[in-house]
Amino acid sequence: MIIYPAIDLLDGCCVRLSQGDYDRQSIYADDPLEMAKRFEATGISELHLVDLEGARQKSVVHLEVLKRIKDQTGLNVQFGGGIKSRTDAEKVLEAGADRMIVGSLAVQDPKEVSAWIDAFGSEKIVLGADLKSGKLAVNGWQESGDQDFDPFLKFYLERGIRRVLCTDVARDGMLAGPAIELYKSILEKFPETELLASGGVSNLDDLRELEEAGCFGAVVGKAIYEGKIKLEELSK
């Protein structure tokens, strides 16, 4: 299982939100590049980089941070937040993102995202599926729709998408443990999915459980910043 440490960007700083609430944020570092270098020094090869301002403004904001990290580290970066137009998608890939996370637009405009799959290749896209009370949430988790997850995932799997980032919004930033049963259920129904778990990871045992559940990867944020998982432990 691949570990994806998270850097969430707000006002140029590394922050974490609780349950996607912009009014409940904790600032952990003022230089995302230095944080990325710390992760790389641990032996980490992947990075989960999220533009929270972009998600709120519905247009990518922090391209320069992405460029700096790609220019000055060897990390593979999956980048998300505010990718709502083909122009933004092209800018994110040109800035060096190895994959882009497409969530809200995938829910709201599947025809457009299908065109992106054809244009950029399915391997460049991570499908973002943010679940709030069992339904797909959009626009930085600020809006909860009425669309069910299973038909949404099935639609994109049929179009070649394999890597899927699934976040249980209620658990994100809460250190209350990941949604193990949810992920098991998804993989039982859709075993071809390269499932990335996100939300709730609080210790190494959580990561072991996710691995045993069959998850392809796991995003870890607050547990690292709060010292619940030390980088030295993670390196093992």
Q: Which residues are catalytic?
A: 8, 130
- Phi then psi dihedrals of residue 159, to 5 deg: -100, 10
Tokens of 216: 């392809």
- Percent helix, strand, coil in the chain (nearest 5)? 40, 30, 30
Closest by CA position to 167, among listed 156, 176, 178, 155: 178
Whole-number Å distance between alpha carbons of 165 and 190:
14
Beta partners for residue 78, in sequence order: 48, 99
Q: Helix (H, G, I), strand (E, B), or coil: what is residue 15?
A: strand
124 and 162 Cβ atoms separated by less than 8 Å: no
Closest by CA position to 129, among listed 100, 104, 111: 104
Closest by CA position to 140, among listed 58, 55, 62: 55
What stretches of the chain show up as alpha helix (H) in DSSP? Answer: 32-42, 52-57, 63-72, 86-94, 104-108, 110-120, 149-157, 180-189, 204-213, 222-225, 231-235
Whole-number Å distance between alpha carbons of 131 and 199:
11
Closest by CA position to 198, among listed 214, 221, 228: 221
